[in-house]
Chains A and B, each alone.
Chain A
Amino acid sequence: MPAFDQTLPETLPAPLARWFDAQGWSPHRHQMQMLQAERNALLIAPTGGGKTLAGFLATLSAACRGEMGAGLHTLYVSPLKALTHDIGRNLARPVADLGLTCRIEDRTGDTPATQRARQRVDPPHVLLTTPESLALMLSYPEAPKIFGSLVRVVIDEIHALAESKRGDQLMLCLSRLRSLAPNMQVAGLSATVENPAALAQFMGGAEIVVADAGPQPDIAMLPTSAAPPWSGAGGAYAARDVMRAVADARLTLVFINTRAQAELFFQALWAVNDENLPIGLHHGSLSRDARRRVEAAMAEGALRAVVATGSLDMGLDWGDVDLVIQIGAPKNIKRLVQRIGRANHRFDTPSRARIVPANRFEVLECIAALQAVEAGELDGDGRAPVGGLDVLCQHILLLACGAPLDADALFAEVTRAGPYMGLSRTDFDACMDFAATGGYALRAYDRWQRLVLRDGLWHLRDPRAARAIRMNIGTIVAPELLTVRRGPRGGAPLGEIEESFAAALSPGDTFLIGGQTVRYDRLRVMIVEVTPQPTREPKIAVFNGLKMATSTELSARVLGLIGDRAAWAALPDHISDWLALQARVSRLPQPGTLTSECFQRGGRWYFALYSFAGRNANQTLGLLLTHRMERDALAPLGFVATDYACLIWGLEPVRDPAPLLDPEGLRAGLQDWLAENAMMKRNFRSVATVAGLIQRNLPGARKSGKQATFSSDILYDTLRKFDPDHVLLQITRAESMRGLADFGRIEEMLRTRAQLVHSMAPHVTPFAAPLMLEAGRIPIKGAASARLLEDEAARMMAEAGLTLEGIVAKTPV
């Protein structure tokens, strides 16, 4: 580790200072600042900055001074189980070398029950754990004893935790720990983020230590021999250029946005690998073994390049990487910066990164992202103003398992947690009521409340409930996965896809999995049956959850770039020519105005809306606008959504977009659409599971995910019919508006770009042409699932040589 401070400050105890010396290390300035911090502190340091050691210096110093008494001294929380193991190993070294009295243990879901039980009675000095295991420990009556002696909490990768409900849960737990050990100090460790102050606020307030960011990264577009295609996301056109860059570097990481694209690009790269360089593939759909093999090969220096998705994004040490190539627009400036940090995992050498836009729109996005990096501007992540209320419901129940609760004291404690500082008493009471009675309009359970008020404290009525509550800790609700198999007779498994993706497929659709293109034949039981179709281009990529949408900041920069002719000088000629042509044929989108156009081609009318609102919002816009167009007899046939625009085709022209884009109407349409939407039901399932209405795990039996999906739909329908204002429906609605539908960005678009500019173009426009080539078109269809059922049943009867011997009669309803 290179030295920035040549003299060791006196605050490091002598034995520890000698140990540093013996390793040939000297602490970084930010590590010493973390040691000297007198209050809670948040360290912002790029990858390779020795973050974890910075977090633990205070603990090691205390151990050197012989301050480890009986009981827990330091609690380390990390989002990844694997990290707790690594940290345990790394800490054990100085502790053993210096002969310190300091017992270090980890505690995760993998820890044996006997050890966990012992830890409750006799906790170690340093406990390494995950947010879920911490929540579980806080639910035990012994919690005050275990944590009363706590001096220090270290939260690793806090920037990653802050992006999900796990972070909300952890901050609630932290607030409880502060009540149990009022003098404890918290150290948050974060990668580079756009807004350190917001993250410090998330921690409940902390002094910010920013590590030296090191030299400016060397980042640019990768020169390619061919111009990028008009549409697509694969980047295959640049395979040869990327291969050349790989050959010139020691070890290259090639990042690409989705797993399917990683598969495709790996193939494209392999096809031009004339020198037979060893290259590997790493993404989340590959088996654990396959991923481990690639990681091991990298660590040994046996690979020259790895094509990877976000599966490599966190926590691992890639010391020898000297080049990062990002294929496709990064969608998010912050993510780009964090990925660049992978290269030259050393503090003093600049990271080298190259970007390869996958299509022409992405050229604009890449240039905008580069300008943002140069300006040192990162994007926000649109965190919810208040933490998840479903998480709060779970937290209340968990605490009630440990000891009776005082509602006022709990409200005060909860609102000390960063994400819940803005929590209203009304919302808190609604969660309390949900935990106690279920929170239903019909007060049916008065006698059987889960929590009962006695002497001003809320008690768990039935102690048997504690076990089920503890078994259902956690805020990660994994999607259901279906196995993909070749052929109808139980052929080889090819991999797994999400149930929601499978449900959206129609027979004949092709998609890519495990490195090959397959045709979807049918869904049977929990198996997706496919036939390999090597010759066909996959129409639909394997879809993993929502695709990341281009961030608001980046979209605004792209729009700004298009609208500012003076800035076109920074663009390649083929891009500025394209923009100029668009300006001649139709209109160029401008900041402050909402541009749309309409033209006719092949008997269809096309309506393109340049929203720049991101993929998810455009998807929602497509659904809402086609619905309204149907109402207005404009006969829409389908639409496609990208990060920049939404293109709708139909039988009638849109001459005036104003009535379609009326905000009130869109909002009302969204409510209707959301209520019936399958994604809303999935969101409800997640909210109901986190809040404890649906129990994934029951003492004695594990409910399979499939069955939980089924029963949550019935619960959703029942609630919607009989108690539409129930707190869980309110939470579901709010989350769907924000996440799934991204309606916030639609609202923002309508607000900030109120002036509509519409043109009737004479033919296909330069901007619309790439949209027409875009994959993932969504046809407007109604009773698709009913038709699938009908077809499948008839096919089975026919296959069995049976007819519907009875009469399938139509009777009046």
Chain B
Amino acid sequence: MKTCSFRFHDQDFIARPSGALFWPERGALIVADLHLGKSGRMARHGGALLPPFETRATLERLAAELHDTGAASLICLGDSFDDDAAIMELGAEREMLEQICQHHDTLWITGNHDPAPYGLPGKVADQQQIAGLHLRHIAETGPDISGHYHPKLRLAGQRLPAFLIGDAHLILPAFGAYTGGLDHDAPALAALVPRGRAIVAGRDVHMVPLPLPRIIASRAGRWSAKR
């Protein structure tokens, strides 16, 4: 499997095809926007009944990433649950999640969907500073590492999750299974990372410069996630 190493404010990081970020020096795996329990929330609100397997799929992928990187700690950058009720509805997956949290030093950053993931092992904070970098859900004053926007980038006809790496902000793609995304050049994202690099995830990782050279502007500003 190909991964891609890069530096951000004097720290080395490894972008992984799964959309997870590994921080070797800290032994930490950072993921954003797990959106566990999304299908349940949609069902509750009378929406489409999506296959109720995404929580399991996401947790299986997360466990595999922790195993492959040998990470000692796990940092979730918010919107880990699709809403508060999603934590209550975890069912059989709760055990999987508790296993993960018990074996890894877990930090839950709160997001806009899940103000407080109570009742699970680990520490809860609305933000945290490590090595001069702020870890938070939504990018503010940098340098920070955040999630929230679910950045996507179109490359060779595919629309893929992407890490955006600018001067002040490092923005992670969503790790959850049923998450749509916002194009990297949508106004909100282009304002945060006007230039720099993007690492496209998916089956492999590929680094591209930002803004994309000679790009014909895509129709920006579309969320595919139901919010």
Contact segment of B96-104, B141-149, B209-217: B209-217
**With A445-B40, A789-B155 known to touch, is A813 a contact of B1 (CB < 8 Å)?**
yes
Alpha-carbon separation in the docked complex, A722 to B50 (Å): 13
The reply to whether the CB of A118 lies closer than 8 angstroms to some CB of chain B is: no
The reply to whether the CB of A723 lies closer than 8 angstroms to some CB of chain B is: yes
A490 pairs with B216, CB closer than 8 A: yes
The reply to whether the CB of A524 lies closer than 8 angstroms to some CB of chain B is: yes
Q: Which of B158, B204, B216 contacts A527 (CB 8 A)?
A: B216
A706 pairs with B159, CB closer than 8 A: yes
The reply to whether the CB of B23 lies closer than 8 angstroms to some CB of chain A is: no
For window 503-520 of chain A, which residues contact chain B by CB distance below 8 Å? 503
The reply to whether the CB of B156 lies closer than 8 angstroms to some CB of chain A is: yes
Question: Which residues of the partner chain B approach A448 to less than 8 Å between Cβ atoms?
Answer: 40, 43-44, 49
**Chain A 775-813 against B: per-residue CB contact (8 Å), 1 yes, 0 no?**
000000000011011111100110110101111111111
B51 pairs with A793, CB closer than 8 A: no
Most central of A438, A468, A490, A810 by chain B CB within 10 Å: A438
Question: Which residues of the partner chain A approach B200 to less than 8 Å between Cβ atoms?
Answer: 789, 793
The reply to whether the CB of B124 lies closer than 8 angstroms to some CB of chain A is: no
Question: Which residues of the partner chain A approach B214 to less than 8 Å between Cβ atoms?
Answer: 488-489, 799
- Residue ID in chain B nearest A502 by CB atoms: B157
Q: Which of A437, A485, A694, A718 contacts B48 (CB 8 A)?
A: A694
Alpha-carbon separation in the docked complex, A490 to B215 (Å): 9
Alpha-carbon separation in the docked complex, A726 to B52 (Å): 12
- Residue ID in chain A nearest B68 by CB atoms: A813
Tell me the smallest distance from the CB of B215 to a CB of chain A, in Å.
7
Question: Which residues of the partner chain B approach A526 to less than 8 Å between Cβ atoms?
Answer: 154, 218-219
**Chain A 459-498 against B: per-residue CB contact (8 Å), 1 yes, 0 no?**
0011111001000000000000000010011100000000
Tell me the smallest distance from the CB of B15 to a CB of chain A, in Å.
9
The reply to whether the CB of B194 lies closer than 8 angstroms to some CB of chain A is: no
Contact segment of A95-103, A573-581, A708-716: A708-716
Alpha-carbon separation in the docked complex, A437 to B43 (Å): 9
B203 pairs with A786, CB closer than 8 A: yes
Most central of B1, B43, B56, B159 by chain A CB within 10 Å: B43
Question: Which residues of the partner chain A approach B14 to less than 8 Å between Cβ atoms?
Answer: 809
The reply to whether the CB of B47 lies closer than 8 angstroms to some CB of chain A is: yes
Tell me the smallest distance from the CB of A104 to a CB of chain B, in Å.
38
Contact segment of B3-11, B74-82, B109-117, B131-139: B3-11
Question: Which residues of the partner chain B approach A806 to less than 8 Å between Cβ atoms?
Answer: 4-7, 207
Alpha-carbon separation in the docked complex, A503 to B156 (Å): 9
B207 pairs with A804, CB closer than 8 A: yes
For window 679-705 of chain A, which residues contact chain B by CB distance below 8 Å? 692-695, 698, 701, 703-704
| Residues of A that sit less than 8 Å from B by CB | 437-438, 440, 442, 444-445, 447-450, 461-465, 468, 485, 488-490, 499, 502-503, 522-527, 692-695, 698, 701, 703-704, 706-708, 710-711, 714-715, 718-719, 721-723, 726, 785-786, 788-793, 796-797, 799-800, 802, 804-813
Given A444-B91, A526-B219, A800-B209, 7 further pairs, Cβ under 8 A: A450-B43, A524-B154, A525-B218, A693-B48, A792-B156, A808-B3, A811-B2
Can you name 29 A-B residue pairings with CB atoms under 8 Å?
A: A438-B52, A440-B51, A442-B52, A444-B91, A445-B49, A449-B43, A450-B46, A464-B46, A523-B157, A524-B215, A692-B48, A693-B48, A711-B180, A714-B177, A721-B57, A722-B57, A726-B51, A789-B204, A790-B206, A793-B208, A799-B213, A800-B213, A802-B197, A805-B6, A806-B6, A808-B207, A809-B14, A811-B2, A813-B68
